[in-house]
Every structure is written in structure tokens, then in C-alpha cells.
Chain A
Amino acid sequence: MNSKKPFSKDIILLNNLEEVVDKIIRKLQNDVLINIKRLGAVVGTSGGIDSSVCLALAVKAFGPEKVLGIIMPEKDSSQESEILARELASTFGVKNIIKEDLTQVLSGFKCYERRDEAVKRVFPEYDPSTYKMKIGIKQRGLSNNLPPVFYLTIIDKNGNQKDQMLPVKEYLTIVAASNIKQRSRMSMLYYHAEALHYAVIGTPNKHEQEQGFFVKYGDGGADVMPIGNLYKSQVYQLAGYLGVPKAIIERTPTTDTYSAEQTQEEFFFQLPYGLMDRYWYGYENGYSVDEVAEVMGESKEQVSALFANFERKKKTTEYLRMAPVRDYYGQ
């Protein structure tokens, strides 16, 4: 007999936050202190909602003196990120908050140079000292059966904007160069974690994990991911419950990767998180297209195309989640 709850718009909301937080904290303590035998936790703090909730959970699990917050700005970072990260640390009594500026590291990897050369091949007038840049998806809607293609946008100092569909070579180069940022952050987190015999707390949420919106061995590299199974709406619920500063909760989630401001919705998700959460819940819990469409007030065709899109995304990003293949010779 099917005991599944009928699908509703509130189905993803957590009802007992105290119990949820308590469960997460107990598991964090067990995983970090007992299973992997580390003494505390390192959290990369970006001033965003996900890393803020992770820091708050780590403080609850290990105490503020056993948590190290690391702010890792680089020349494309928004200054607001550091201000918010410091406000967060102060809110939760974390005195061990340090700043590691990664600009020199990234210059050493030629991260900016490699990226800017690719941008110039598309827009010869692009000058990184006067232009900002980002890549993103044009909103064609998730219900389109074609996968998205990426566009490059450059913005001059007067705010004039130009967009162009990215040729594949330039797209791959820009993404590969930009991913050095996430991988450098991961290296820095592990440096401090190993120096203190702490664990690295990974900050991706459920959507980022399951839809592949993370960098393999970058922000996807961590020891534990306490919000890795939570929808974004649930992360916001926890943020409110835990007392994350209002300025962080109200901030639009960005990728913090390109010099021009860019929302996560614009770059990857294509749907506001509130809608994405509900459709994804319906999809992964096997609710029928008819039931989800009726509750969400959307056509069956649209929901069916959305589910197909999710299926495709999950399949094509499996590579990001898989461990290195090593069973080449069985013994």
C-alpha cells in the first residue's frame, strides 16, 4: 500500500526544526569526532546562505573554539562577502576567522590570464581592467527539450552590456580557468584542516549535489556535507532557526566566480529555488506529472518536460559525483 503523502506546495518544508538541527548536529559529531577522528572543523565562509548555515551547524556541533572560518577573496570577489562573513563569525562567537587572499595563487595558475584570453577571442575589445564578465544561460525555460547553451556577457564601466553565444572551445576554457578558483579554495581549506587536524565542512546543498552545480575536487571536495541532502528552502528555514544574520538570508545567492555579479539561477538552475525545490521533490519522489501539475498550477506538458530535464541533468552530471574508477583488475 502506498503511504506517500499527497503532493502539496508545503511538502518540502521542515516541521520540527529543533529536531532536524539536533539530528544533523549529532551526526556531524559522530562523523567528524568519532568516524574520521578529527578535532574540529574548517568552513570556507563566503557570506552566502549555504556556508553560513554550515558554519552555524559546525559551531553547534563542536563549539565556536573548535571551528575555523576562512574567508578566501580574490580580485573578482564582492567586498560584501567579507563583511558578511565577519558578521556571521561574530554572531556565532567564532574568533578563529582568517582571511586568505587567493589573488596571487590564482595569478600563479594563470587563472585570470587564461580566462581573459578566451573572452578576448569572443569580444576583442574586452579589457579586464575596464570590463566585467560572466557566463550564463539565456532563459529559454526548463520545459524546452533542448539543453541550454551558454552565453558570454561583458559589461563596460558605463554599464553597456554585450552578449554572445559561446563557442565550445571558449566556453570550456573559461569554465576550466574559473574552476581553478574553487580548487584553490579547497586546497587552502585542506591546508588549514590538516594543520589543525580538523575536518573540512563541504557547503553544497541538495540541488548543487544532485544537479551537478559544483566543481569536482573544488567545492565538491570535503569530508562531510551537512546540508548536502537539504533543499534550498530548507536551508533557508535552518538559517532563520539558527539565527543567521538577516543580511545574509536576504542576499541573492550568487556564484561568486565571475567579475560581473551573477545569480545562481541565471548561471545554472533556470528556476527560482522555491519552484525548483517543489518540482525536484515531486520528480525524485515519484509523484505523477498529473498530480504535480495540478498542485503547481502548471500544464502537464511543462511538468513532463521539466522532469525529463531533471533526469537528463542528473544523468549527465553523474561524472562529477563518481569516485575515480579503479576496479580494472579483480582479485
Chain B
Amino acid sequence: MKHDPIAIKEKVKSYIHQAAYVENDKIKDDSLVFKEGYFDSMAFMVLITYIEEEFGIKTNDADLTEENFESINAITDFICRKTQN
């Protein structure tokens, strides 16, 4: 379960939709959640805390890049990589 990318993506997707107060499936897997204005600075901090607590990973300075956080796909890949380490 912990390493299942599909399950991780579902959790991330559900979290992002809830946190952005939008209907399910409104945000596409490759939508740019920050660039398109769904998430602000506070939501980013809450997202980092959610990921750390839900998936038991620790993020560091070097992790905070657009490649890791720009979309549901990017966040899922990031969590998968981190949980595999």
C-alpha cells in the first residue's frame, strides 16, 4: 500500500481537491496547482505537513522544487521516490 503509486495518487488527488475546495476531478493530474492559483503559500505548507505525516517522509530544502510539487503527477512521483528510498 505504502509503495503503490496508484493508491498514493488517489490520496494526493483527494487531498488536493479537498484542500482547494473544488469538486472531485476538477483538477487534472497534470494541472499546475500553484501556477493556476489553486494553492497559495499556506496551502503549500499544509501540503508538505500532510505528505510528511501521511506517508512518513521528511522533506528538505532541496526537495522544494517545481518538478516535485507542480502537479498531482509530480507530487505522486515525489512521494513514490521518497518512500522507495
A165 and B61 form a contact (CB under 8 A): yes
Contact of B42 among A144, A168, A308 (CB under 8 A): A168
Q: Does B40 contact A (CB under 8 A)?
A: yes
Complex interface residues of chain B between 58 and 74 (CB less than 8 A to chain A): 59-61, 64-66, 69-70
Residues of B within 8 A of A166 (CB): 45
Interface string of A134-177 (1 = CB under 8 A from B): 00001010001111111000000000000001111101000000
A149 and B44 form a contact (CB under 8 A): yes
Q: Does A95 contact B (CB under 8 A)?
A: no
Interface string of A100-138 (1 = CB under 8 A from B): 000000000000000000000000000000000000001
Q: Does B32 contact A (CB under 8 A)?
A: yes
Q: Does A312 contact B (CB under 8 A)?
A: yes
A147 and B39 form a contact (CB under 8 A): yes
B66 and A146 form a contact (CB under 8 A): yes
A73 to chain B: closest CB distance in Å?
30
Contact of B64 among A140, A168, A316 (CB under 8 A): A140
Contact of A312 among B37, B61, B64 (CB under 8 A): B37
Contact of A147 among B32, B34, B61 (CB under 8 A): B34
A316 and B49 form a contact (CB under 8 A): no
Q: Does A251 contact B (CB under 8 A)?
A: no
B53 to chain A: closest CB distance in Å?
9
B45 and A145 form a contact (CB under 8 A): no
B35 and A168 form a contact (CB under 8 A): no
A139 to chain B: closest CB distance in Å?
11
Q: Does B80 contact A (CB under 8 A)?
A: no
Give the interface size bracket for B toward A. 20 to 34
- CB<8 Å pairs between A and B, sample of 16: A145-B32, A146-B34, A146-B44, A146-B64, A146-B69, A149-B41, A149-B48, A149-B64, A168-B42, A168-B49, A308-B35, A312-B40, A315-B37, A315-B40, A316-B40, A316-B42
User: Which residues in A have some Cβ–Cβ distance to B below 8 Å?
Assistant: 138, 140, 144-150, 165-169, 171, 308, 312, 315-316
Residues of B within 8 A of A150 (CB): 45
In Å, the complex CA distance between A317 and B69 comes to: 22
A138 and B37 form a contact (CB under 8 A): no
In Å, the complex CA distance between A308 and B42 comes to: 17
In Å, the complex CA distance between A171 and B45 comes to: 9
Q: Does B6 contact A (CB under 8 A)?
A: no
Residues of A within 8 A of B64 (CB): 140, 146, 149
A317 to chain B: closest CB distance in Å?
9
Q: Does B46 contact A (CB under 8 A)?
A: yes
B49 and A148 form a contact (CB under 8 A): no
Beyond A145-B70, A149-B48, A312-B37, 5 additional pairs, beta carbon < 8 A = A145-B66, A146-B44, A146-B65, A146-B66, A147-B43
